Amino acid sequence: MQKVYKILITGPESTGKSTLCKALAEKYDTQWIKEYAREYIDQVDRKYVYSDLKIIAQKQSDFQEKAILLANTFLFCDTGLEVLKIWSENSFQKCDQWILDNLSNQKFDLVLLTDIDTPWQFDEQREHPKPEQRSYFIDLYKKELTEIYGGYHLIQGNEEERLEAAIKYIETLIIK
């Protein structure tokens, strides 16, 4: 069975994670996992609550486990459990133990952090448009990704530059 490299693409809201995942999956003709939180929140007819985050985390993890069986060399993951940890701790000042326990078991071959150098775009689910909020969250992601995964690669620039940078890191991964 061919090795499938799991690549995490994560970062604060409105930083181009989904756009990058989709472009990479198309380039490498493989699977990518959408951020389940968006679908879940669209389905509930209320503001999300603390207990929703564990449900979202469990479903996101399930999608990763199933998609890796269908992937071709790479599996691109639009966020992971680190997003749920950051979201939960910032919105509710606590995080469900299931998320914390499974976060420590979550493994990726490459971690890409999308920077806040793209314009923030409104949608109903986004909550942090102010520059100081975006700066706070990118710093928090840098800290968390270093603690959880031992580091990350920062992806910056316009869509084309981001795609080129990501491809460079992916190609380096293959050569190792």
Q: Which 3 state secondary structure label does DSSP give 127?
A: coil
Q: What are the pLDDT digits (tens) for 54-97?
A: 999 999 999 988 998 888 899 999 999 999 999 999 999 999 99
Q: How many domains in the chain?
A: 1
Contact in structure between 82 and 147 (CB atoms under 8 Å)? no
Contact in structure between 17 and 35 (CB atoms under 8 Å)? yes
Q: What is the sign of the dihedral through the CA atoms of 168, 115, 92 and 123?
A: negative
Nearest CA to 84 among 131, 24, 135, 148? 148
Segment 30-39 mean pLDDT: 92
Answer yes or no: is pLDDT of 40 > 90.
Answer: yes
| Reported pTM | 0.93
First to last CA, the chain: 19
Q: What is the CATH number of the domain that holds 90?
A: 3.40.50.300
Contact in structure between 128 and 12 (CB atoms under 8 Å)? yes
**Is residue 32 within a helix (H) or strand (E), and if so which, with residue range?**
strand 31-33
Range of the domain at 121: 5-175
